[in-house]
């Protein structure tokens, strides 16, 4: 037991849908109790009750996490990842089952978790430290390091209600990471920060795990999960779908449910989107115009996104991002790059946006394609992860090599050899 940091046994959480808690005064309770027998007689004892509408956000989840393990938790939106972290952080109670925590837990589940808006940044550092059970002297020892990491020294004595979301998350992460909990629980809040701070946070998480502390990381950044975590959980529909090494779990997650025929198609009811646009199909087309999931690295291919515009839209774009089997993003592209075709108003109707990917670009291997659309780069209309998968086969090996070259890209670059005069 001494090697176990977290043990979950049959952990479940049930939520009622569409029911609000009604608060009653004492007189309402007394009146209700007095009148209950008469209401029961009038209705009849056999009257069926209205069925309870509920959903299991988490159902019968069991696992062990050892001290010093860094565990990534992945899954689609609504799968139950955040619910699991809230249960482990004691923010909410399970409907059944139990979770035993052996160590002090630091949580970062939402922007500004545990912060009091009227207190300054400095005061909130001491508040969070006290919640974690730390002594004032311990907090004072870490104070300068926390402030430096968060990069908000100028505003540290300003009430946090005046902070931007980026300032909130920088300070919140810095507090959670530096006050040395034995177990650190981090949700996808790092996505709020800028790119530079995200890299800084990932570096800090790597340092924490190397110090022997336990880290639970929920993230859609599959590359970060593969890089930081040795172990991963895939949660789907509130249940633990797969446990294994990070590479195995990320690979299985990317492969799950995607088309391997070169095309994924949806009917109107199931199509990603809303009352403005519906994605009807995603296709990989080879240089001969044929739909295919196995491609030659020497030839270009095309990504086609077929969609219905249900109303006239201005500022709309649709695009895709390409990932390796390990979850690393290769590139992102959108049809706004066709300046002439995407400019102005798009009238309602069915469209196909087509992107050409040149030959001699990708190395051999398995790839995954995800699609998304938004309005002027701000409001996201839909995201369809892992829409389909395809394979690049290396039919032409570079002259300098007799084996598959390393790296994601395999494009020839221009070289020129010149001999110096007199050499």
pLDDT in tens, 169-204: 888 888 877 877 888 888 876 655 566 777 788 788
Q: Find which of 105-114, 157-166, 264-273, 402-411 is predicted with most confidence, using mean pLDDT.
A: 264-273
User: Do residues 296 and 303 touch, judged by C-beta distance below 8 A?
Assistant: no
> Which residue has tokens 């005061």?
123
| Residue ranges of domains in the chain | 55-255, 263-393
Overall average pLDDT of the 252-259 stretch: 71
The CATH number, out of the four listed (3.40.50.300, 3.40.50.720, 3.90.180.10, 2.40.50.140), of the domain defined by the range 55-255: 3.40.50.300
**Which of 145, 107, 102, 139 minimizes the C-alpha distance to 124?**
139
Asked whether residue 399 carries a pLDDT value surpassing 50, the answer given is no
- pLDDT score for 211: 84
The confidence band for 261, taking pLDDT boundaries of 50, 70 and 90, is: confident
Are the C-beta atoms of 220 and 370 separated by less than 8 Å?
no
User: Quick one: pLDDT at residue 1?
Assistant: 47
What is the average per-residue pLDDT within 68-84? Answer: 88
Q: Per the structure block, which two tokens stand in for 296? A: 């030659």
Phi/psi for 133 (5° steps) reads 85, 20
Residue 262, SS3 per DSSP: coil
Q: Which of 361, 280, 370 is nearest to 334 (CA)?
A: 370
pLDDT greater than 70 at residue 39: no
Nearest one of 198, 142, 140, 129 to 170, comparing CA atoms:
198
Q: What percent of the chain lies above the pLDDT cut of 90?
A: 33
pLDDT exceeds 80 at position 38: no
In what helix (H) or strand (E) does residue 423 lie, and over which residues does it extend? none
| 241 CB-contact burial (10 Å; exposed 0-12 / middle 13-18 / buried 19+) | middle
Q: Mean per-residue pLDDT for 249-277?
A: 84
Kindly state the average pLDDT of the residues 324-330. 85
Cα–Cα distance measured from residue 88 to residue 100, given in angstroms and rounded to the nearest whole number: 8
Query: What integer pLDDT is reported at residue 272 of this predicted model?
Result: 93
State whether residue 414 is helix, strand or coil: coil
Query: Can you tell me whether residue 124 is helix, strand or coil?
Result: helix
Lowest mean pLDDT among 41-55, 102-116, 207-221, 367-381: 41-55
CA dist., res. 283 & res. 392, Å (int): 15
DSSP 184-245: EEE-GGGGGS-HHHHHHHHHHHHHHHHTT-EEEEE-S-HHHHHHH-SEEEEEETTEEEEEEE
**Tokens encoding 53:** 């509408």
- Angstrom distance (rounded) from CA 291 to CA 224: 32
DSSP-assigned beta bridge partners for residue 109: none
3-class SS at 250? helix
- Taking the complete model, does pTM exceed 0.85, yes or no? no
| Mean pLDDT of all residues in 387-408 | 70
Give the model's pLDDT for residue 105.
85
Query: Percentage of residues in the chain with pLDDT exceeding 70?
Result: 84
Give the count of alpha carbons within 13 A of 293, CB side only.
16
Looking at residue 400, its pLDDT comes to 45
* Mean pLDDT, residues 340-360 taken together: 88
Residue 81's contacts (CB-CB under 8 Å, 6 or more residues apart) are: 73, 74, 75, 187, 218, 235
Which H/E stretch holds residue 39? helix 26-43
Exposure b/e, 360-374, CB count within 10 A at least 16 = b? ebbbebbbbbbbbbb
Write the pLDDT tens digit of every residue in 278-303.
Answer: 999 999 999 888 898 888 888 899 99
Q: Which tokens in the block code for residue 72? A: 């990534």
User: Does pLDDT of 319 surpass 60?
Assistant: yes
Q: Dmax over Cα atoms in the chain, in whole Å?
A: 113
Architecture of domain 263-393: Distorted Sandwich (2.70)
The rounded mean pLDDT for the chain is 83
CB 317 within 8 A of CB 336: yes
Dist. CA 7–CA 39, nearest whole Å = 47
pLDDT (0 to 100) of residue 373: 92
Judge whether 260 and 369 are in contact, CB under 8 Å: no
pLDDT value for 77: 78
Residue 402 confidence (pLDDT) above 50: no
């Amino acid at each position: 037991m001494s090697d176990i940091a977290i043990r979950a046994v049959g952990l479940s959480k049930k939520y009622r849908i569409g029911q609000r808690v009604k608060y009653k005064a004492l007189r309402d309770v007394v009146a209700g109790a007095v009148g209950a027998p008469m209401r029961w007689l009038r209705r009849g004892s056999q009257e069926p009750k209205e069925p309870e509408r509920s959903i299991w956000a988490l159902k019968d989840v069991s696992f062990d996490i050892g001290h010093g393990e860094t565990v990534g938790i992945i899954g689609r939106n609504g799968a139950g990842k955040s619910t699991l972290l809230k249960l482990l952080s004691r923010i909410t109670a399970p409907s059944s089952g139990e979770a035993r925590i052996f160590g002090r837990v630091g949580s970062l589940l939402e922007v500004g978790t545990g912060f009091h808006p009227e207190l300054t940044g400095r005061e909130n550092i001491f508040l969070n430290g006290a919640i974690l059970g730390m002594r004032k002297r311990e907090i004072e020892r870490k104070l300068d390091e926390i402030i430096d990491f968060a990069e908000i020294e100028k505003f540290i004595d300003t009430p946090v209600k005046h902070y931007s979301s980026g300032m909130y998350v920088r300070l919140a992460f810095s507090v959670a990471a530096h006050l040395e909990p034995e177990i650190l629980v981090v949700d996808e809040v790092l996505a709020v920060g800028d790119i530079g701070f995200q890299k800084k946070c990932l570096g800090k998480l790597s340092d924490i795990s190397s110090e022997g502390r336990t880290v639970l990381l929920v993230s859609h950044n599959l590359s970060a999960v593969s890089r930081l975590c040795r172990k991963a959980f895939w949660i789907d529909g509130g249940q633990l779908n797969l446990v294994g090494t990070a590479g195995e779990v990320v690979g299985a997650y990317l492969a799950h449910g995607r088309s391997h025929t070169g095309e994924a198609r949806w009917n109107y009811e199931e199509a990603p989107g809303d009352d403005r646009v519906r994605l009807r199909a995603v296709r990989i087309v080879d240089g001969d115009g044929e739909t295919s999931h196995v491609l030659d690295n020497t030839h270009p291919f095309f990504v086609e996104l077929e969609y219905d515009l249900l109303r006239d839209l201005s500022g709309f774009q649709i695009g895709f991002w390409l990932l390796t089997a390990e979850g690393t993003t290769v590139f992102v592209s959108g049809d706004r790059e066709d300046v002439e075709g995407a400019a102005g108003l798009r009238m309602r109707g069915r469209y196909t946006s087509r992107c050409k990917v040149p030959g001699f670009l990708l190395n051999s291997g398995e790839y995954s394609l995800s699609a998304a659309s938004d309005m002027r780069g701000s409001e996201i209309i839909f995201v369809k992860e892992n829409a389909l998968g395809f394979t690049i086969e290396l039919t032409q090996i570079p002259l300098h090599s007799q084996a598959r070259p390393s790296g994601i890209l395999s494009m020839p670059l221009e070289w020129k050899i010149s001999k110096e005069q007199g050499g």
